[in-house]
Amino acid sequence: MNDNVNLRIGFIGAGRVGTTLGKYFRIKGSDVAGYYSRTRTSAKAAASFTDTAYYDSIDELISDCNMLFLTVPDSLIEAVWNEVSNYDITGKYICHCSGAMSSSVFKGISDKCACGYSIHPLCAIESKTDSYKNMNDVFFCVESNVNDDAIISWLKSMGNPVSSIASDKKILYHAAAVFASNLMTGLHHMAGAILGECGIEQELAEAALNRLFEGNCNNIVNKGEIASLTGPVDRNDITTIEKHMSALCDKADGKYLRVYKALSEELIDIAKVKNPDTDYDRLNNIMGGYRIEKYSINI
C-alpha cells in the first residue's frame, strides 16, 4: 500500500461493527463512500446514520471504493470474499474486522493484484448508534501478509494506538482479548453462583459483585496489576487459601476449584513481583497439586 494513497472506504455489511467504524472514520476525516448489504433497509439506515450513500449492488460499491471492509459475521467472511473476488479489485485494499481470523481468509488475493488486511478494534461494539463515541482511545490490531505501514499510519492519524502482529499470532491475540472481556463475564457469573450457595439473594449478590468488579477493574486501569493485587495470595495466607479450596472442591463438579487454582497460580507470579521478600514456595506447592488428592479432584 502506498503511503500517499487517498482512501475511499466502502462497507459490505451494515451491522454494529460496520456502522460504528463508518461513523468513526467519517468523524476523523476519512472518505467513507457508504454501504452495501443483503438487506437494503440496513444499508440505508447505516448510510443515513453516517451521512454516506447506500448501494443497491455490490459491484457499484466495489467500483466506487479502493478500500473495502467486509463487516459481516466471521462465518460469512470467506463467502463474501469469494463473491468480491469475482470483480476487478486490482489495487484495492480488502479488510475484515474479525478478532480471530487472519487475512489468509482472502485466498488468492495476490493473484487479483489486491492487498488483504485484518483490522480489529479491541473493544466491545454493542450499539450501532452509540459505540462510535467511545472509539477515540481504542487499540487497533493490524495483520497482513503485505506491508502494513500505511494502514498503521492511517489509523494512528486518527489518534488511536495501533500495532501489527504476525498472521500466525492472530488467534492467540484473540484469546488474550477473550481473557480480558468474555471470561470476566464468566467469572462474574461464577462468583454470583457461589454467593447464591451462601443464600444471598440474586439481586443483592449482583449489586455487591458489580461494585467489587468495578472497583478492581478501575484499580487495575489506574494503578496497574501489581499495585492492585490484594487478597489471600498477596498476603501469602495459606490457611485461608486451603479453606477456599476445600470449600470449592465439591461444587459444580470441581469446576470452581479448577478455575480458582489456575487463576491463583497466575496471582502468585504477580505477588512475587509485588512482594519480593515473601517466600511463596509452599503456596506454589499447594497450587502445584500435591494437596489435590485431599480434595478428591483431578486438576
Separation between Cα atoms, residue 220 and residue 75, nearest integer Å: 34
Write the class of the CATH domain 180-295. mainly alpha
Task: State pLDDT tens for residues 204-226.
Answer: 999 999 999 999 999 999 999 99
Q: Which residues of the chain form CATH 1.10.1040? A: 180-295
- CATH superfamily of the 8-170 domain: NAD(P)-binding Rossmann-like Domain (3.40.50.720)
3: confidence class by pLDDT, cuts 50, 70, 90: low
Task: State pLDDT tens for residues 163-216.
Answer: 999 999 999 999 999 999 999 999 999 999 999 999 999 999 999 999 999 999
Separation between Cα atoms, residue 96 and residue 37, nearest integer Å: 15
pTM as predicted: 0.87
Q: Which residues of the chain form CATH 3.40.50.720? A: 8-170
Task: State pLDDT tens for residues 245-268.
Answer: 999 998 999 999 999 999 999 999
Give how far Cα 88 sits from Cα of 53, 58, 85, Å. Answer: 21, 12, 7
